[in-house]
Amino acid sequence: MAFWKSWKYKNLTIFFASILFAFVLTRLEIFHQLLFSLGNWGYVGAFFAGMLFVISFTAATGAVILFILAEQLTPWEIGLIAGLGAMVGDLTIFRFIKDGLVNELEPLYERFGGSHVSHVLHSKYFHWTLPLIGALIIASPFPDEIGVSLMGISKMKTYKFVFISFLLNFIGIFLIISASLLLKH
């Protein structure tokens, strides 16, 4: 335990361990069965599908669950509940990045010539474009990690991020479910 307390790169270690853990989980058939059974859980399933929808490793599974739920729930219901779940998933990533990952990565950037990157990222042009690009990524059907990271780097306040994340995820999920229903008929 003393080693962990003194370890400088806790967040990076947790980040890479979670990637490895997710990779192992995706190889287990029982995990896939559990995820697909979420389609039978109504609103609870929509909430968890929203959380899965924002993470790269589980985005496809989250989308499949949302499409299954579209047979039982309206696009509005799925958009609201899954948007809330997606916001919780995004907030977890946002806090992880904002609360320590950036601080751990900064010395590594500086060590490998990152002063130029840091200068560009802190210029007046990137001050407003990072959150804008991040918002576009969150609203898209692509996984949100990069968009959330850009918003975390931009020093956005948490309460603003929560509102923006929910709104964009609600709109994105609502449009995807509505489009899938239109194409189905």
Using alpha carbons, list the distances in angstroms from residue 4 to 1, 7, 59, 64: 5, 5, 32, 39
Tens digit of pLDDT for each residue in 146-161? 888 888 777 788 899 9
User: pTM for the complete prediction?
Assistant: 0.75
Burial class (CB in 10 A: 0-12, 13-18, 19+), 28: exposed
Q: Could you tell me the pLDDT band of residue 167, with boundaries at 50, 70 and 90?
A: very high
Tens digit of pLDDT for each residue in 86-111? 999 999 888 877 776 666 666 666 66
Share of the chain above pLDDT 70, in %: 74
Q: Where are the domains of the chain?
A: 9-184
